[in-house]
Each structure stands twice: as structure tokens, then as C-alpha cells.
Structure 1
Amino acid sequence: MTNDVVRSTHAQLRAMRATWADFSATKRGDGLVIWYGPIRPRGMVYGLRVFWWPGRIDRPYVMVAHPEIRPRDGLTYADIPHLMFNAEDPVLSGLCLFDPAGKEWTPADLIADTTIPWAAEWLHYYELWHVTGEWLAPGVGPEAVAPLSQGEARAIEEAAVHVH
């Protein structure tokens, strides 16, 4: 599939329903889609919120709704590796699942086949980080590599207000 292909909202909803049946979806009239569902990477079950807003947010945005992610003892939210840190409200921080410059996710991809498995993998390494103090996942570095544009940040905050 070429990069100029964009999956329709219908295709994304259908794929999520087929692959992740425990996730529920809400589609607003302005095009925002929010999925909510459980995932168990290893030890714990996490409730994920996935925001996808074609035209407003250029990639899926994933937040852990519960239990809230937390820093290791003695650290802050800003110290959590691979997190798109939201300094104003750390609970709204998103998981940094891929490097946009690396074209690892494009609008041609299905969220069900990429974003949700990547979130499960992120949470697996997050659990290991709490045990070992090291981020053991391969990647480009411990820092967030996918900062949001100001427009995307505003869109996420606007979307999160409806579910937070």
C-alpha cells in the first residue's frame, strides 16, 4: 500500500471491531474517533484510550486511562521513557509508540494491526522498567521522539476533555 492511501474511518472501525472486540468506539460528528478497551501485555490489565482524528491529529494518540501510568519511586512523570509528556496534565501524556520521521505509521495503516500491538509492547517494557530501572526496548533513545505540534496538542486536549 502506498503512503498516499488513507484508511477510511469505516475501515479503521471495522478492523478494530474484528481484532479487538473488547474495545468500544465512539465517533463524534466532527470525525473524532475514541476507542476504549482493555489490554494485558503481561502482568496487569490496562484500560487504553486511543484517539484518532483525521485532519486534526496526524497519527493515533494512545493514553493509559487506568491504572494511571506512574513514574518509578523518586522520579517524575517527565522521567518516564518514551512518553509524549504533557507537563500541564501528566495523566494526558501519550505513549510514544513510533518515530514519525521513520514512517513507521502512516494513514494507510490499520490502528488495529499497529497501534494496539505497539501499545501492548510499550506497556510490557514499562512494567520491566518499573522492575529494572532500565528501558529495555529497542528504539531511538529513552526520550520522547514524537512531540506533538501545537495544533495536535490542542486537539488532544479538546478530545480528552470529553472523556477525562
Structure 2
Amino acid sequence: MAIRTYIPLRGIKKHLAIILEKKLLKKHFPFLKFQVEKGKLMCFGYVQPSEYSPIFHYRVEWDPGSSPKVFPINPSIDYDDDIHMYEEGCLCLYYPKDFIYDSKSHIYDTIIPWTHEWFLFYELYMIKGRWLHPYVEHKKI
């Protein structure tokens, strides 16, 4: 059983948390590009769910101490409750009551795989007209 490395945000400087997370991301996803801006890690990646799909480009923004946010870049995807996005335009990747992104969480083994899965289900949504992945309803009433 592998020992899970985690970032203890209490007692560690944010820039060191960013360096560690960036190192883990580079190791597991060498195609990602990085930028650090105002104490925030920005990761730029892409995924093509199938050979017939477009290549989806996305940006992950992470400020240590908060949950990462993923924004589709190209092609542009407009906000829609039915495709599990938040009004600010970021993807809804998990139900916050079921998973809390904390100092033991890492982007490489949660957010990136979930982002790629999200784009696969987005493609299925475009074909079927409904979201097929299990979800918790979060539309405003």
C-alpha cells in the first residue's frame, strides 16, 4: 500500500503547497502547462474523450486553502444547470457534501480525472440530451 502524501496547509507556506502540487501534477500529467499568478496555481490541459470528439481545453485554478475550480476554455461551453456547471462558468465535478477538498486532497488524483470524465459525459449529453452521470440535483427552485 502506497503512502499518501498530503499538503498540510496549517504550518506550510502557500508557495510550498503550490510547488508540491505542481510537482505531483507534472509527474502524473506531463502534458499540463503551469502558471503561478498572485499566489494561485493555474494548470492548462486538454482532453479528447473519443477520436470523434473535439479537443477540449480547460484551466484549473487553485488557491491553497480552497477548492480548485475548472473552467472550459475552448470550445466555449455556456452555463447550463443541466450539464452540471456553476453560474460562474466552472464545472461541477463533485457534490460538496460527499467530498470535501481539503489539505489531504490533490488535484492529480481527483480534479484532473474528474475533469476528463466530465467532458466525456458532456459529449454524451450532446448526443442524448440529458446528463447520464449520477448526480445530485442542484438547480435553483
Q: 2:86 aligns with which of 84, 101, 104?
A: 84
Does residue 49 in structure 1 map to residue 59 in structure 2?
A: yes
Aligned residues: 129
Question: Taking structure 2 as the reference length, what is the TM-score of the superposition?
Answer: 0.79
Partners of 1:69 and 1:78 in 2: how far apart? Answer: 9
Does residue 113 in structure 1 map to residue 122 in structure 2?
A: no
Show structure 2 runs of 5+ residues with no match.
Answer: 10-15
Partner of 1:113: helix, strand, or coil?
helix
Partners of 1:144 and 1:49 in 2: how far apart? Answer: 24
In structure 2, do the counterparts of structure 1 residues 65 and 33 end up closer, same or farther at CA, with 3 Å as the change threshold?
same
Q: Is the 8 A contact 1:48 1:62 kept in 2?
A: yes
Q: 1:21 aligns with which of 10, 30, 54?
A: 30
Q: Is the 8 A contact 1:82 1:144 kept in 2?
A: no
Partners of 2:60 and 2:67 in 1: how far apart? Answer: 10
Q: Is the 8 A contact 2:82 2:130 kept in 1?
A: no
Partners of 1:21 and 1:11 in 2: how far apart? Answer: 15
Partner of 1:11: helix, strand, or coil?
helix
The aligned amino acid for 2:29 is W
The aligned amino acid for 1:45 is I
Q: Is the 8 A contact 1:81 1:144 kept in 2?
A: no
Task: Tell me the alpha carbon deviations over residues 92-145 of structure 1, each in whole angstroms, 9 at most, x when there is no partner.
Answer: x0000012222253231110111011011111111111110111001213x369
Alignment match, 1:74: none
Does residue 69 in structure 1 map to residue 72 in structure 2?
A: no
Alignment match, 1:94: 90
Q: Percent identity?
A: 27
Partner of 2:107: helix, strand, or coil?
coil
